[in-house]
Structure 1
């Protein structure tokens, strides 16, 4: 082999080595790019999984569904007072909390009358301690403790479910008295006649506490989890609830949300009904 041929062979060998090195670099670069794409996909998926846990439950049943609320006295944007209503007061700065469920024996076999004074007038209620002793014992206890003074009715629904939900001093729909108890006296058919007074809860059957709802029209609710405790009825002022409901809710969902026309509980007085 001539020297010229040897030099040509050496050049070819060097070029082949360079191509091999370039190929390794190229594969390495592609691997890095692929890893970056995979990592980005993982982060996007992780974010998508995490976000729903930060959002409120979309359940439309009368539950403690979180809703935005004003922190000072006055109207929220888009709200307007209904005829005969006063401006709602500021929310409680430090809502009361209790560690122990009230003893149901304090209400068992007894009937109570309640007057709920609101910014739109008085609602009168009759509480059935025979059929729902635990719920009535809790309601009477919280009333005497001034738990709801004041508190807004934070939710109104008007499509299939016709209720006004009240009883959360925080105004968010997620507040409670610090304790919970199970379901009592829930209708097997899930039907709640107009004027029904019942406990609101989350999907947990033992999450009954301070929130309650009034059905202003006949309403059929899910029976899953045992349904919702009926513990009394409205004996006066249902027209007030219907008036608030007629104005529906603030956007984005006029059929379920914060009432356009606000109503707040100012005080609750309870006495035992004598035979």
Structure 2
């Protein structure tokens, strides 16, 4: 039998995924309705499948099991009954057209009082930016945790966004391709990049915030740079990352001593 707090976390993760899927279904129905209303002389029947009340996340690995590709990669995750596409994506990945080739700005709030200004690059990373915009709009991240901290020299990042808060779980999809990858493996302070497993199409909901200039192994393809932190990095360091790691794993990374939760996120097209 799972410990009570683990069972509670699992219930919260299932509820978070259910709500995300429900919001995703609503947005899809609204889009379909607009198409129907704008079609002259056509009658479009939209059949919406019933949403499952519980998630079916398959976990393969836990936080602290080591970083794949000597990087900011997530522990492996998978979804139940995914639908494969020719690109190698699985599940219902948000359309890359969402970002519209534009710059998007917003905020990411941690522990209620660490507010980061963020900027997403819809031109350099259209697919990843579209995914992040969709997840933020549908409030997927709110209540999730930042489960992994690296604080070594030239290796400083905070990783966030797993559905279960421990490096496992996602929103039912994985995607590629890699976009806007630094050719020299250098990720300057303030970089926001997408975490992944060994495959270039294993990107999902997790991302990492680089708070000190970091070098990552690019031999397996590198990591999609989706945007940057434009303000608040000093507060992130003073209130969270500078406090260190609770129990470092074999790779030197681990859960931050300061428990870190995403308590808010906003995004809008830059005017």
Q: 2:247: which partner in 1? A: 251
Residues 1:103 and 2:100 are matched in the alignment: no
Q: 1:232 aligns with which of 223, 227, 232?
A: 227
Q: 2:11: which partner in 1? A: none
Moved over 6 A (4+): none
Summarize the alignment of residues 100-139 of structure 1 with structure 2, pairs less than 5 Å apart. 100-119=92-111, 120-139=113-132
Q: Unmatched 5+ residue regions in structure 1?
A: 1-52, 67-97
RMSD: 2.0
Q: 1:201: which partner in 2? A: 196
SS of residue paired to 1:226 = coil
Question: What TM-score, normalized to structure 2?
Answer: 0.66
By percentage of residues, which structure has more helix? 1
Deviations 1:18-46 (A, max 9, x none): xxxxxxxxxxxxxxxxxxxxxxxxxxxxx
Asked whether the 8 Å contact 1:164–1:241 carries over to 2, the reply is no
Deviations 1:184-230 (A, max 9, x none): 11011110000001101111111111100011111010112210000
Q: 2:72: which partner in 1? A: 62
Q: 2:139: which partner in 1? A: 146
Asked whether the 8 Å contact 1:150–1:169 carries over to 2, the reply is no
Q: 1:167 aligns with which of 134, 148, 161?
A: 161
Q: Unmatched 5+ residue regions in structure 2?
A: 1-59, 77-89
> CA 1:230–1:58 in 2, change beyond 3 Å: closer, same or farther?
closer
Q: 1:25: which partner in 2? A: none
> CA 1:233–1:248 in 2, change beyond 3 Å: closer, same or farther?
same
Residues 1:263 and 2:260 are matched in the alignment: yes
Moved more, 110-119 or 253-262: 253-262
SS of residue paired to 2:170 = coil
Asked whether the 8 Å contact 1:104–1:134 carries over to 2, the reply is yes
The 2-side partners of 1:54 and 1:191 are apart by: 27
Per-residue deviation at 1:237?
1.1
Larger radius of gyration: 1
The 2-side partners of 1:123 and 1:212 are apart by: 14
Asked whether the 8 Å contact 1:101–1:179 carries over to 2, the reply is yes
Residues 1:188 and 2:180 are matched in the alignment: no
Deviations 1:132-169 (A, max 9, x none): 00000000000111111111111100124110101113
Deviations 1:226-274 (A, max 9, x none): 1000010101111132222211111244941000012110121111101
The 2-side partners of 1:221 and 1:141 are apart by: 27
Asked whether the 8 Å contact 2:148–2:253 carries over to 1, the reply is yes
